[in-house]
């Protein structure tokens, strides 16, 4: 029988749904294992789902994720809190597809971090200068607060707040968006969000990242010592998601925004 784990948001509704999942599945012979689950149930929001992926990043080739959203619809989940029975039925009958989604990898010095939604450089202390290279080719010198590189999944998150385009599901693309760029007669950069092939390596170089932060989904890191960031779709890690029923992407968009 499959081994499973559960990640829940902090609220009581999510926790009690998590308990029900654990109870039902253990009664049916599934094995609860937080160390080596094959399926991770996520109860909460899109943020909880991303957190669960980060929690199980080291086991990622062997784990698939299944989400239930407590609140509204979510971009990562097709089931809501009144549909727990349907979700369990679907899981136990194995009537589902497993879809793979790419992760971004960012290399900063000798460290590599992975992102589901986006990688961003932000500097609120001073103007950040960034030289942008796309797969080895120089594009521009940017000046402003920073830049964001997102996945298709992440296009509705931070990227959307930056005025980036929402990318329809099924399109294997990444997007580069400026964060408060300076544009006038002396300095200019593209300004428009740029949608790129998934093979593109985005390199951001700077003489100084002093006081800049590297944002990787909900996590942040300091960048003071680095001079270069390499951002690319990760070749080896993909997220596997259980999809039982399908809800149209446009339904999600129109319901959520
Ligand atoms: P959070 O501050 O709790 O989340 C911010 C909001 O973003 C929540 O409503 C969350 O939905 C939603 N969200 C997360 N991923 C999404 C996606 N792919 N598509 C649409 N909405 C999404 O932080 P968090 O829950 O840990 O999530 C981290 C993400 O939040 C970051 O990767 C970043 O994209 C986003 N964020 C956005 C802004 C902004 O737009 N200015 C600022 C900070 C963070 P749920 O309520 O369902 O969790
Ligand atoms: Mn959240």
pLDDT digits (tens, 9 = 90+) for 165-185: 999 999 999 999 999 999 999
CA-to-CA distance for 163 and 181, rounded, in angstroms? 12
Residue 246 has pLDDT above 90, yes or no: no
Predicted confidence band of residue 42 (pLDDT cuts 50, 70, 90) = very high
CB atoms inside a 10 Å sphere around CB 63? 22
Strand 202-205 versus strand 128-134 pairing type: antiparallel
Distance (Å) from CA 44 to ligand 2 centroid: 8
Question: Percent of the chain, pLDDT > 70?
Answer: 100
For every residue of 90-107, DSSP letters joined together read HHHTT--EEEEEEEEEEE
Ligand 1 pocket test target in 43, 47, 217, 219 with most atoms within 8 Å of CB: 47
Find the range with the poorest average confidence among 19-23, 103-107, 122-126, 252-256: 252-256
Ligand 1 binding pocket includes 218 (Cβ within 6 Å):
yes
Is the distance from CB of 255 to CB of 74 less than 8 angstroms? Answer: no
Note the pTM of the prediction, 2 decimals.
Answer: 0.96
23, exposed or middle or buried, with CB in 10 Å at 0-12, 13-18, 19+?
exposed
Spell out the residues 6+ positions from residue 94 whose beta carbon is closer than 8 angstroms to its own.
Answer: none
For 219, phi then psi, to 5°, come to -100, 150
Ligand 1 binding pocket includes 148 (Cβ within 6 Å):
no
- Residues 28-37 pLDDT 10s: 999 999 999 9
Residue 158 has pLDDT above 90, yes or no: yes
Predicted confidence band of residue 226 (pLDDT cuts 50, 70, 90) = confident
Predicted confidence band of residue 83 (pLDDT cuts 50, 70, 90) = very high
> How high is the pLDDT of residue 73?
79
Ligand 1 binding pocket includes 192 (Cβ within 6 Å):
no
What is the set of active-site residues?
Answer: 46
Question: Percent of the chain, pLDDT > 90?
Answer: 94
Kindly report the protein residue whose alpha carbon is nearest to atom 31 of ligand 1: 217
Is the distance from CB of 78 to CB of 71 less than 8 angstroms? Answer: no
- Residues 93-141 pLDDT 10s: 999 999 999 999 999 999 999 999 999 999 999 999 999 999 999 999 9
Ligand nearest to the CA of 215: 1
Ligand 1 pocket test target in 45, 145, 148 with most atoms within 8 Å of CB: 45
Taking each continuous run of H as one helix and of E as one strand, the counts in the chain are 5, 16
CA distances from 239 to 174, 181, 185 (A): 16, 32, 44
Greatest CA separation for the chain: 69
Residue 72 has pLDDT above 90, yes or no: no
Question: SS3 helix, strand, coil % of the chain, rounded to 5?
Answer: 25, 40, 35
Buried b (16+ CB within 10 A) or exposed e, 173-212: bbbbbbbebeeeeeeebeeebbbbeeebebbbbbeebeeb
> Would you give the DSSP letter of residue 189?
-
As given in the structure block, the two tokens for residue 69 are 């959203």
Residue 71 has pLDDT above 90, yes or no: no
Question: In a 3-state reduction of DSSP, which class is residue 40?
Answer: strand
């Amino acid at each position: 029988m499959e081994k499973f784990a559960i990640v829940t948001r902090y609220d009581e509704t999510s926790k009690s749904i998590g308990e029900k999942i654990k109870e039902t599945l253990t009664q049916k012979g599934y094995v609860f294992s937080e160390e080596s689950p094959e399926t991770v149930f996520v109860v909460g929001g899109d943020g909880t789902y991303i957190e669960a992926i980060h929690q199980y990043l080291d086991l990622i080739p062997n784990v698939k994720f299944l989400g239930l959203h407590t609140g509204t619809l979510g971009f990562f989940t097709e089931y809501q809190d009144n549909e727990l029975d349907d979700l369990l039925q679907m899981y136990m009958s194995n009537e589902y597809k497993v879809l793979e989604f790419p992760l971004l990898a960012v290399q900063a010095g000798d460290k590599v971090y992975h992102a589901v939604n986006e990688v961003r450089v932000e500097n609120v202390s001073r103007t950040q200068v960034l030289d942008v290279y796309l797969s080895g080719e120089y594009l521009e010198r940017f000046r402003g607060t920073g830049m964001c590189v997102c996945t298709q999944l992440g296009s509705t998150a931070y990227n959307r707040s930056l005025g980036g385009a929402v990318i329809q599901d099924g399109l294997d693309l990444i997007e580069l968006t400026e964060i408060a760029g300076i544009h006038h007669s002396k300095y200019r950069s593209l300004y428009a969000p740029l949608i790129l092939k998934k093979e593109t390596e985005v390199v951001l170089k700077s003489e100084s990242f002093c006081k800049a932060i590297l944002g990787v989904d909900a996590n942040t890191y300091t960048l003071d010592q680095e001079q270069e960031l390499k951002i690319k779709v990760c070749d080896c890690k993909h997220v596997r998601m259980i999809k039982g029923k399908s809800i149209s992407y446009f339904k999600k968009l129109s319901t959520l925004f």
